[in-house]
């Protein structure tokens, strides 16, 4: 019966009209959504126009997928660009592997981490489950050659333990955690610190080329107890590292959850170059959610491939004998993950594109969505709300809506302190994704706000003091801005990438000429400028509008006198910053100092629940 069901799906897909992939055309694309119900409307998706460049070693790269295995299923632009699900991606990989065999070249599939925290598929598990356990089981059906751990695998020990016990073993030594350990009990019951995956791996490709790979995490500080992240600078001094890189391979493939610029990849790169000055080095990075490329020398290329299955990276190199310092020939491309893109590059229409494994994976994803009840509706959102496509003061600003309306209402429900005036503070990076008009489901709630941050507070703070905190964090003209920048640096070390990602979006908007911004023949999407030669984007788009959002955001101030005592409410994620700044504000005054002992729990409601509470009350 199971096979019959899969066969019926195949027949249903196979008889849909085949795509024409003529240059410059857009295509109508039937799309699935997380409710498991077929979606009637069709949307236009722009097609690539230039074939991919192949080399001797070719890499398909994913990173920061964060549970987005169902693809993006909303019709508001640019979501259709990313509407392929992981079953579609599986079919694409299978066809590209076959094409590599026909060409007599190697094709590697690589992932750079962060499989947790992002959608209902990873985070919507029933009570007693473990984040991403079920979605990771589907993820592992693809033939990845090398994978690396991300910081989101480390926030909760139970998640790390699940990766260590159930996910890493599936990859036969190719799930890498070069500088990340977990503490577990050995067979005698003693606590031991051991790598979550493997420190490194060495293997031969299908064509017999020798590869040495490491999997490096940036200097992350937000990991849970009983996990450790060794600084990259210390890792490259380890005896095991020096021994691992001593033998010369045909190519080093460095995989890691670390951005390819403005971080510590050069430490790893230079350590290898000191031993092997000519060996090709390919770096597959991640973490900041952007499309980026840089060449640290003319025999290397570093690629970062976006986030949320909005990008599939393509990196290739033509090899030589490693005996000269002549530049190698590289190429890179950022693909929009949708069926139009996949079918253009495989040259296959609907009838031939879908593989049995791809169909099976799509069915498994839909089954998991149904089992997690991700289509459960809290209400109907009256409009779109954007993270950065609307001004913070606009009624379309998601961070503004979150902090001024959603949170104040949600955390006041059944709260004995609701009658006490307060100021609520958050980092703007606490919100993860745009909220679109229409049915607001359990899946949407976890997509928009997946983090399980708790609301804490300090009571009896003079309003005259509490009202200064937000400005003290955000006003560039204040002397305290240095403290704010230090706070943002610490938030980055703890995993908040919103500042880097927003810088990237802003750069796209500001670089684009007026005619590109308003081009009628282009759909909106990413418009990438990186440090590598030639154009990187596989499909041309006009850029998304961009408005700056404050690093820290706050609720509307209560109407009280300056001497009144109020509650200062904040996310536990920024608790230490709030305490530090409070003390700097009251220094030299009669107000007492504050400490972490003054911090208390404000409500049992977490950040990943507030939109559901609000929607049930306000959107029905």
Residue 316: beta bridge partners? 58, 331
Q: Dihedrals φ, ψ of 405, to 5°?
A: -125, -50
> How many Cβ atoms are within 10 Å of 472's Cβ, its own excluded?
18
How far apart CA 355 and CA 490 sit, in angstroms, is 45
Torsion of CA 246, 250, 253, 254, to 10 degrees: 20
Count Cβ atoms within 10 A of the Cβ of residue 187 and give its class: 0-12 exposed, 13-18 middle, 19 or more buried.
Answer: exposed
How far apart CA 620 and CA 616 sit, in angstroms, is 6
Q: Quote the DSSP letter at residue 397.
A: B
List CB contacts of 587: < 8 A, sequence separation 6 or more: none
- Edge-first strand order for the sheet with 191-195 is 191-195, 180-185, 227-229
Q: What is the DSSP string of 33-68?
A: -TTSSBP---EEEEPP-SPPPP-SEEEEEE---TT-
Instruction: Please tell me the predicted confidence (pLDDT) of residue 486.
Output: 67
Instruction: Please tell me the predicted confidence (pLDDT) of residue 373.
Output: 97
Instruction: Please tell me the predicted confidence (pLDDT) of residue 473.
Output: 76
User: Which candidate, 592, 585, 580, 503, places its Cα nearest to that of 548?
Assistant: 503
Instruction: Please tell me the predicted confidence (pLDDT) of residue 475.
Output: 64
User: Three-state SS for 258?
Assistant: coil
| Strand bridging mode 600-606 / 454-462 | antiparallel
Tokens of residue 56, six digits: 């001797």
> Which ranges in the chain are annotated with CATH 3.90.780.10?
377-521+532-618
Count Cβ atoms within 10 A of the Cβ of residue 127 and give its class: 0-12 exposed, 13-18 middle, 19 or more buried.
Answer: exposed
Query: What is the per-residue pLDDT across 364-408, written as a single tens digit (0 to 9) for each?
Result: 999 999 999 999 999 999 999 999 999 999 999 999 999 999 999
In the chain the first and final C-alpha atoms are separated, in Å, by: 40
Q: Which helix H or strand E contains 600, and what residues bound it?
A: strand 600-606
User: Three-state SS for 128?
Assistant: coil
How far apart CA 115 and CA 437 sit, in angstroms, is 27
> Which ranges in the chain are annotated with CATH 3.60.21.10?
2-371
For the domain bounded by 2-371, which CATH number is listed? Answer: 3.60.21.10
Contact at 8 Å (CB) between 349 and 590? no
> How many Cβ atoms are within 10 Å of 277's Cβ, its own excluded?
11
How far apart CA 551 and CA 69 sit, in angstroms, is 29
Residue 427: beta bridge partners? 552
Contact at 8 Å (CB) between 48 and 341? yes
User: Three-state SS for 447?
Assistant: helix
- Edge-first strand order for the sheet with 200-204 is 200-204, 210-217, 251-257, 281-285, 300-305, 291-294
How far apart CA 117 and CA 144 sit, in angstroms, is 21
Residues of the chain scoring pLDDT < 50: 1-41, 478-481
Fold for 377-521+532-618, please state it.
5'-nucleotidase;  domain 2 (3.90.780)
How far apart CA 201 and CA 117 sit, in angstroms, is 27
């Amino acid at each position: 019966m199971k096979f019959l069901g899969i066969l019926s799906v195949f027949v249903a897909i196979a008889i849909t009209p085949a795509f024409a992939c003529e240059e410059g055309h857009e295509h109508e694309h039937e799309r699935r959504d997380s409710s498991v119900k077929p979606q009637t409307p069709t949307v236009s998706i722009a097609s690539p126009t230039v074939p991919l460049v192949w080399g001797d070693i070719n890499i398909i790269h994913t990173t920061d997928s964060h549970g987005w295995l169902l693809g993006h299923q909303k019709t508001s632009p640019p979501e259709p660009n990313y509407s392929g699900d992981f079953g579609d991606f599986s079919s694409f990989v299978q066809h590209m592997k076959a094409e590599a065999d026909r060409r007599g070249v190697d094709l590697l599939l690589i992932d750079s981490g962060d499989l947790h925290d992002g959608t209902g598929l990873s985070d919507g598990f029933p009570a007693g489950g473990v984040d991403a356990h079920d979605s990771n089981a589907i993820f592992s059906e693809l033939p990845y050659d090398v994978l690396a751990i991300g910081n989101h695998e480390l926030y909760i020990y139970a998640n790390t333990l699940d990766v260590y016990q159930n996910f890493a073993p599936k990859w036969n030594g190719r799930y890498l955690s070069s500088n990340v350990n977990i503490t577990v009990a050995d067979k005698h019951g003693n606590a031991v610190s051991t790598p979550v995956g493997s420190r490194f791996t060495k293997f031969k490709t299908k064509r017999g080329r020798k590869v040495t790979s490491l999997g490096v995490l940036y200097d992350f500080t937000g990991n849970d107890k009983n996990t450790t992240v060794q600084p990259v600078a210390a890792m490259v001094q380890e005896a095991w590292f020096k021994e691992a890189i001593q033998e010369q391979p045909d190519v080093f493939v460095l995989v890691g959850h670390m951005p390819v610029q403005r971080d510590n990849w050069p430490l790893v790169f230079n350590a290898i170059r000191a031993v092997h000055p000519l060996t090709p080095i390919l770096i597959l990075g991640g973490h900041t959610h952007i499309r980026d490329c840089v060449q640290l020398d003319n025999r290397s290329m570093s690629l970062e491939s976006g986030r949320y299955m909005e990008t599939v990276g393509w990196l290739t190199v033509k090899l030589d004998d490693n005996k000269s310092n002549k530049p190698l020939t590289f190429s890179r491309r950022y693909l929009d993950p949708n069926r139009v893109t996949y079918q253009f590059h495989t040259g296959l229409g609907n009838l031939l594109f879908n593989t049995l494994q791809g169909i099976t994976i799509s069915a498994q994803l839909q089954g998991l969505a149904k089992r997690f009840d991700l289509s459960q509706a809290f209400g109907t959102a009256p409009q779109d709300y954007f993270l950065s496509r609307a001004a913070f003061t606009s009624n379309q600003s998601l961070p503004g809506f979150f902090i001024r309306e959603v949170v104040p209402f949600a955390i006041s429900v059944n709260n004995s302190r609701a009658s006490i005036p307060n100021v609520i503070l958050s980092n703007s990076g606490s919100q993860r994704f745009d909220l679109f008009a229409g049915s607001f489901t359990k899946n949407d709630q976890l997509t928009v706000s997946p983090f399980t941050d708790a609301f804490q507070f300090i009571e009896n703070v003079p309003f005259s003091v509490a009202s200064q905190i937000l400005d003290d964090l955000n006003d560039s003209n204040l002397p305290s801005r240095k403290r704010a920048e230090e706070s943002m640096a610490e938030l980055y070390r703890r995993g908040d990438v919103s500042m880097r990602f927003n810088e990237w979006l802003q750069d796209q908007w500001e670089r684009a000429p007026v005619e590109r911004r308003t081009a009628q023949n282009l759909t909106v999407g990413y418009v990438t400028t990186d440090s590598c030669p030639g154009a990187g984007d596989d499909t041309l788009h006009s850029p998304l509008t961009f408005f700056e959002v404050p690093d820290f955001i706050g609720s509307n101030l209560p109407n009280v006198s300056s001497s009144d005592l109020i509650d200062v409410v904040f996310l536990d994620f920024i608790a230490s910053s709030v305490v530090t700044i409070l003390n700097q504000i009251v220094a030299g005054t009669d107000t007492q100092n504050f400490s972490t002992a003054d911090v208390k729990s404000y409500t049992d409601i977490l950040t990943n629940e507030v939109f559901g509470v609000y929607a049930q009350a306000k959107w029905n």
